[in-house]
Chain A
Amino acid sequence: MSKLFVICLILLSLFLLSCTTVNVPSIGVNGTTFRMEEDEQMLWRNATEVEKKIGKSGFLFNDLELETYLNAVARKLLPEGFESDKMRPRIKVLKSPIVNAFALPNGAIYIYTGILTLIDNEAQLAALLGHEVVHFIHRHTLKEMRSTENKISFLKTTQLILISTVWGALLVIPLHSQGELWALTSARGYSRELETEADEEGIRLMALANYDSGEGVIMLKHLLDSRQEQRTDPFYSTHPPLEQRIENVKRLLTKFRALTKEPSVNQDEFQKRIDPVLLENAAMGIEKGRYELALAAIKKKLAMSPQNARAHFLLGEWHRRAGRDPDASYKALAAYRESARLDPNYPDPHRELGLLLRLQNVQGEACVELEHYLSLNPNAPDAPIIRGYLEELKKSENQ
Chain B
Amino acid sequence: MKRWMTGAVFLLLVLGSCVPKPSPPPNSFRLPEELGSKNRTIALSPLDPPEWIPNGEMVQKKFESLITGKLKEANYDVLPSDVYDRIWKEMAEKVGILYDRISGKRDEQKFNAVREHTLREIHKKFGEVLVLHHSLIVVLARFSNKQASWDGTNERLETHGFRGTLKALSLCVVIENTNRITLYRKQGGIELLQGISQSGESIPVPESKVLTREELCTKAVEIALQPIVKERAAK
Q: How many residues on chain A are close to B (CB under 8 Å)?
A: 48
| Contact mask for chain A residues 369-399; partner B; CB cutoff 8 A; 1 contact, 0 none | 0000000000011101101100000000000
* Cα(A189)–Cα(B26), bound, Å: 10
Q: Chain A residues with Cβ under 8 A from B20's Cβ?
A: 22, 147-148, 191, 193
Q: A384, B96: Cβ atoms under 8 Å?
A: yes
Q: B11, A12: Cβ atoms under 8 Å?
A: yes
Q: B22, A149: Cβ atoms under 8 Å?
A: yes
Query: B29 near A: Cβ within 8 Å?
Result: yes
Query: A8 near B: Cβ within 8 Å?
Result: yes
Query: A84 near B: Cβ within 8 Å?
Result: no
Q: Which residue of B lies closest to A237 (CB)?
A: B26
Query: B105 near A: Cβ within 8 Å?
Result: no
Q: B22, A4: Cβ atoms under 8 Å?
A: no
Q: Chain A residues with Cβ under 8 A from B113's Cβ?
A: 380-382, 385
Q: Pick the interface stretch among B116-124, B143-151, B213-221.
A: B116-124
Given A359-B124, A382-B117, A384-B94, are A289 and B181 also a contact pair (CB < 8 Å)? yes
Q: B4, A355: Cβ atoms under 8 Å?
A: no
Q: A287, B180: Cβ atoms under 8 Å?
A: yes
Q: How many residues on chain B are close to A (CB under 8 Å)?
A: 41
Task: Identify which of residues 1-24 in chain B touch chain A, using a CB-to-CB cut-off of 8 Å.
Answer: 1, 4-5, 8, 11-12, 15-16, 18-24
Given A1-B4, A381-B110, A385-B94, are A16 and B15 also a contact pair (CB < 8 Å)? yes
Q: B26, A188: Cβ atoms under 8 Å?
A: yes
Query: B196 near A: Cβ within 8 Å?
Result: no
Task: Identify which of residues 132-187 in chain A touch chain B, using a CB-to-CB cut-off of 8 Å.
Answer: 147-150, 153-154, 157, 161, 164, 166-167, 169
Query: A299 near B: Cβ within 8 Å?
Result: no
Given A161-B26, A237-B27, are A385 and B182 also a contact pair (CB < 8 Å)? no
Query: B200 near A: Cβ within 8 Å?
Result: no
B149–chain A nearest beta-carbon distance, Å: 12
Q: Chain A residues with Cβ under 8 A from B91's Cβ?
A: 385
Q: B23, A189: Cβ atoms under 8 Å?
A: yes
6 A–B pairs (Cβ distance < 8 Å), ordered by A:
A19-B15, A147-B19, A147-B20, A191-B21, A238-B26, A289-B181
Interface residues of B (CB under 8 A from A): 1, 4-5, 8, 11-12, 15-16, 18-27, 29-30, 32, 91, 94-96, 107, 109-110, 112-114, 116-117, 120, 123-124, 179-182, 185
